């Protein structure tokens, strides 16, 4: 069955050019010169994709994107912008546009964009009959190894700076890329939105899965924020795996791990003889990720000079290799992340405001482990099963009830990465098949819970005596309303209940 496109532009020659281009690849097209005509066509026909100009006689493209999301929320819309008008494209994508194409229209890019948009719609249609979380991953959606040194042209670049997910690449077992354990040898075949990797059914995790599913349908740049150890790269991979680009490469680069003098060459490539040591042409990461996704981890570490060049590559959708004279078109979706607060970095002048605006079209927050304490036990059991598999043990070590309560009450400043470390150590120190509270040795990992109203330095660990005093004062203030006290202290109810038991805090002794 032929796919059908709606083309909206007040310039007849552009409508005809786009229609002819899509007709040649077997699509049916309907055209409109204004929004009134377009709304009539939407009410008459069922479309697979819509292309609309930003400026129309009776309205603008952004308002029309909002309208389409009301009447046909699953219809992917791409906006056509004037050359260099990236601000309009960003505004449209923030309001739900799938992607944008600049005038003069690049036919090859346009066809690729339309193909991806239709594919994104087909994925949603498939999920109506089969739950999205049960779809098998594509053959290309395998995680990659941190040891992918073949991407690196220089032996002295750290091995963990670049990773790639391409056909036949090995599995990445780093805990940086999983919320559930470093011993996963293969990605789950059960759930593209994280079954087997995004562990837990808490409200933050349900919201995260929903957000990944939603943003995967677009080509908009995504900014992933969150503390270290919360699995930001895994989120980026899941966005890629659920997107129309899933059959193309996923390339991840740690911007803080590559020397600044080599960053441009690694990003954009170089030509033979362009500098000392450039003995042959080198294909940059933008080119390797062509058609797929480029994930810029720790993007806040980019030097300002490189930020300018990255901004241009994103805006122009083209790159120029070091030593090259010609521009090379690129078709790459940009995902980025950092544990730093980029807004603060912009305020301090360490990060360009315009680049931040381009990267932060859609924001996904990776929840900390203390924000989803109810998931800790499930994650811990998952990690223990993986440890048992890695050690060749038939039965995983289990947690005693007290050990489980202790983990659920702990703040985990290092998030899942710290939980993995604690459990690996506990397995080594435990006797028999059970981990007791003492095996966890949580006392050696000071709690770093945040008490914003009473602490000037929330990053400095609080002593147990000070923490006990603060908890007692808060309980007195709230008349021993534990839920209110937990909210004031920045704890979960379960964490507070454990602290009350741990410090033997008694309501009668506090004088209430």
Which of the 8 DSSP states describes residue 23? H
How far apart (Å, rounded) are the C-alpha atoms in residues 309 and 315?
Answer: 10
Q: Cα angle vertex 274, ends 269, 278, to 5°?
A: 70
Instruction: Write down the pLDDT at residue 422.
Output: 92
Q: What is the CATH number of domain 4-129?
A: 3.40.50.2300
- The secondary structure element, H or E, covering residue 308 is helix 304-316
293-339 tens-digit pLDDT? 999 999 999 999 899 999 999 888 889 999 888 888 888 999 999 88
The alpha carbon dihedral of 6, 7, 12, 18 has a sign of negative
pLDDT higher than 90, residue 292: yes
- CA geometry: angle 172, 284, 270, nearest 5 deg: 145
- Determine contact, residues 348/304, Cβ cutoff 8 Å: no
The phi and psi torsions of 368 (rounded to 5 degrees) equal -75, 165
What is the spatial distance between Cα 389 and Cα 103, in angstroms, rounded to a whole number? 55
Say yes or no: domain 371-444 is CATH 3.10.105.10.
no
Which whole number is the average pLDDT over 253-258?
88
- What tens digit of pLDDT does each residue of 202-231 get? 999 999 999 998 898 888 899 999 888 888
Q: What does the DSSP 8-state code read for residue 175?
A: G
Output the pLDDT for position 118.
Answer: 85
150-191 per-position pLDDT tens digit = 222 333 344 445 555 544 333 333 333 334 433 333 333 334
Residue 429: CB atoms within 10 A of its CB come to 13
Is 450-512 a CATH 3.50.50.60 domain?
A: no
The residue ranges of every structural domain in the chain are 4-129, 149-365, 371-444, 450-512
pTM: 0.68
Q: Among 326, 334, 323, which residue's Cα sits nearest to residue 290?
A: 334
What phi and psi, each to the nearest 5 degrees, are found at residue 53?
-70, 155
Report the share of the chain in percent with pLDDT over 90. 27
What are the strands, taking DSSP E only, across 19-95? 28-32, 49-53, 55-56, 59-60, 77-81
As a whole number of angstroms, the distance between CA 252 and CA 75 comes to 30
CB neighbour class for 323 (10 Å; exposed up to 12, middle 13-18, buried from 19): middle
Question: Do 4-129 and 149-365 have matching folds?
Answer: yes
Task: Label residue 510 by pLDDT band (50, 70, 90).
Answer: low
The predicted-structure confidence for 356-381, as pLDDT tens digits, reads as follows 988 988 899 999 998 888 899 999 99
| 149-365 is a CATH 3.40.50.2300 domain | no
- Cα separation, 44 vs 46, in Å, equals 7
């Amino acid at each position: 069955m032929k796919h059908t496109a709606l083309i909206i532009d007040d310039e007849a020659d552009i409508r005809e050019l786009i229609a002819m281009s899509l007709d040649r690849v077997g699509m049916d097209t309907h055209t409109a010169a204004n929004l009134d005509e377009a709304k009539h066509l939407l009410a008459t026909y069922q479309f697979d994709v819509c292309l609309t100009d930003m400026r129309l006689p009776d309205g603008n493209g952004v308002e029309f994107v909002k309208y389409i999301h009301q009447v046909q929320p699953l219809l992917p819309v791409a906006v056509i912008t004037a050359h260099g008008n990236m601000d309009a494209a960003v505004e449209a994508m923030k309001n739900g546009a799938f992607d944008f194409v600049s005038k003069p229209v690049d036919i090859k890019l346009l066809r690729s964009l339309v193909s991806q948009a239709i594919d994104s719609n087909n994925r949603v249609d498939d999920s109506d009959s089969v739950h999205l979380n049960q779809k098998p991953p594509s053959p290309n959606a395998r995680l990659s190894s941190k040891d992918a040194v073949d991407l690196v042209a220089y032996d002295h670049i750290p091995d963990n700076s670049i990773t790639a997910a391409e056909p036949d690449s090995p599995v990445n077992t780093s805990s940086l890329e999983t919320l559930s354990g470093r011993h996963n040898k293969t990605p789950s075949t059960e759930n593209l939105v994280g079954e087997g990797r995004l562990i837990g059914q808490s409200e933050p995790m349900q919201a995260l899965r929903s957000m990944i599913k939603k943003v995967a349908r677009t080509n908009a740049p995504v900014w992933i924020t969150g503390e270290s150890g919360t699995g930001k790269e895994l989120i980026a991979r899941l966005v890629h795996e659920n997107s129309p680009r899933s059959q193309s490469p996923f390339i991840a680069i740690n911007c803080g791990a590559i020397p600044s003098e080599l960053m441009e060459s690694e990003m954009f490539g170089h030509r033979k003889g362009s500098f000392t040591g450039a003995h042959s042409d080198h294909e940059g990461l933008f080119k390797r990720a062509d058609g797929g996704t480029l994930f810029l981890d720790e993007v806040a570490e980019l030097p300002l000079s490189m930020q300018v060049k990255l901004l241009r590559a994103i805006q122009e959708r083209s790159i120029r290799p070091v030593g090259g004279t010609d521009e090379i078109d690129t078709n790459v979706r940009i995902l980025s992340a950092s544990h730093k607060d980029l807004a603060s970095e912009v305020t301090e002048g360490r990060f360009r405001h315009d680049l931040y605006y381009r990267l932060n079209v859609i924001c996904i927050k990776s929840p900390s482990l203390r924000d989803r304490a109810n998931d800790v036990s499930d994650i811990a059991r998952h990690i223990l099963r993986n440890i048992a598999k890695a050690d060749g043990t038939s039965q995983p070590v289990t947690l005693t009830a007290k050990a489980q309560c202790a983990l659920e009450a702990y703040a985990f400043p290092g998030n899942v990465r710290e939980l993995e470390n604690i459990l690996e150590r506990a397995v080594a120190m435990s006797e028999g098949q059970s981990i007791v509270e003492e095996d966890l040795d949580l006392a050696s990992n000071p709690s770093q819970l945040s008490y914003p109203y009473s602490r000037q330095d929330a990053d400095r660990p609080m002593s147990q005596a000070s923490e006990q005093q603060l908890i007692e004062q808060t309980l007195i203030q709230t008349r021993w309303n534990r839920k209110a006290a937990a909210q004031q202290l920045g704890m979960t109810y379960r964490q507070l209940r454990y602290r009350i038991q741990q410090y033997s805090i008694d309501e009668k002794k506090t004088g209430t």
